[in-house]
Structure 1
Amino acid sequence: MAAIIIRRMLSGDIPQAHEIGKQCFTTPWQISSFEYELENRDAILRVAVLHVEIVGYICVRSILDVTHVMDLAVTPRLKRMGIGSLLLRNALQELRRTRPDINMITLEVRESNIAAVKLYEKHGFREIGRRRGYYKKPLEDALIMELDMNTDNSSIIFH
């Protein structure tokens, strides 16, 4: 496979990112959600580019000293090829550079999304709880995961 480039999301990337979200999620982000986050100075949005095609995206947003992984998606035909890891690592490295005060990174993930759970675990996240009935279409619990930026686990992301 050709090299994947990770770069900042631009407004012109939103239609392709939205299409990826529709392929990956039963309740994908609306275009207005991408637009809102692009304007939010506390958000980091990145895209993965293969040739000229957007093949994945991530959005993380900070509130005080905690950051939340808002959304991460990779086009289905390229899943399990390391693109999610590249996106996660890039966004969190940018976070570490611009917000050294961040202590915790959190996220929710569908309980049945084993590949995503393994991705996050590989990068040092651990399950800390669940939100019952969090997801709709189909109704499903969310696992709550976190990465403590003050532990050795965080070195998995940043080195």
Structure 2
Amino acid sequence: MNVFVREMIESDIDRVLEIERESFSPPWSREAFLLELTKNILAKYIVVEVDGRVVGYGGIWLILDEGHITNIAVDKEYRGLGLGDKLLEGLIQLCIDRDIKVITLEVRKSNEVAKELYKKHGFKECGIRPGYYTNNNEDAIIMWKTIEV
């Protein structure tokens, strides 16, 4: 299995949307991803390829000295292979390269797999955003990581 992490480009959006739709409710739109890639100067997105096929993606906003992870998703057929780790490591490396010292994110309270991934990489649960997810009023867990180089 040949695994490669790289910057997301516009031609990746169709494939990313497929992964987005199977991973999240409600999913982001094509317009949202296009704006992130072309207009949002704070946004950085990466993809992970397996044997030349995009099978996951992740995004982060780099705001002053803080990174805010927007999303990470892996194609259902490729989950459990450590690709989420590769994406998270890539996003953390973007922060290290820019001397960013802290990273934050929100994750659904019920998403145990994602919470375990983040904890494995040093994120700590630091708060709750009640009713954060509008489709079902689920709470979000706020997680933070301090980068020590």
TM-score tier by shorter-chain length is over 0.9
User: 1:75 Cα shift?
Assistant: 0.6
Amino acid corresponding to residue 29 of structure 2 in structure 1: Q
Give the 5 Å matches for 1:5-16: 5-16=4-15
Separation (CA, whole Å) in 2 of partners of 1:33 and 1:43: 12
Say which is worse superposed, 114-123 or 62-71, in terms of deviation. 62-71
Q: Where does residue 26 of structure 2 map in the other structure?
A: 27
Q: In structure 2, list runs of 5 or more residues that go unmatched.
A: none
Task: State yes or no: 1:57 paired with 2:57.
Answer: yes
Q: Where does residue 147 of structure 1 map in the other structure?
A: 145
Amino acid corresponding to residue 94 of structure 1 in structure 2: L
Amino acid corresponding to residue 141 of structure 1 in structure 2: D
Normalised to the residue count of structure 2, the TM-score between the two structures is 0.93
User: 1:94 Cα shift?
Assistant: 2.3
User: 1:42 Cα shift?
Assistant: 2.2
Is the contact made by 1:44 and 1:95 (CA closer than 8 Å) also made in structure 2? no
Q: Where does residue 103 of structure 2 map in the other structure?
A: 105
Amino acid corresponding to residue 37 of structure 1 in structure 2: E
Runs of 4+ in 1 over 6 A off after TM superposition: none
Normalised to the residue count of structure 1, the TM-score between the two structures is 0.88
Q: In structure 1, list runs of 5 or more residues that go unmatched.
A: none
Give the 5 Å matches for 1:54-133: 54-97=54-97, 99-100=98-99, 102-133=100-131
Cα offsets for 1:26-46 (capped at 9, x unmatched)? 111111111111123322210
Cα offsets for 1:82-108 (capped at 9, x unmatched)? 1011011012212211x11x2210000
Is the contact made by 2:95 and 2:101 (CA closer than 8 Å) also made in structure 1? no
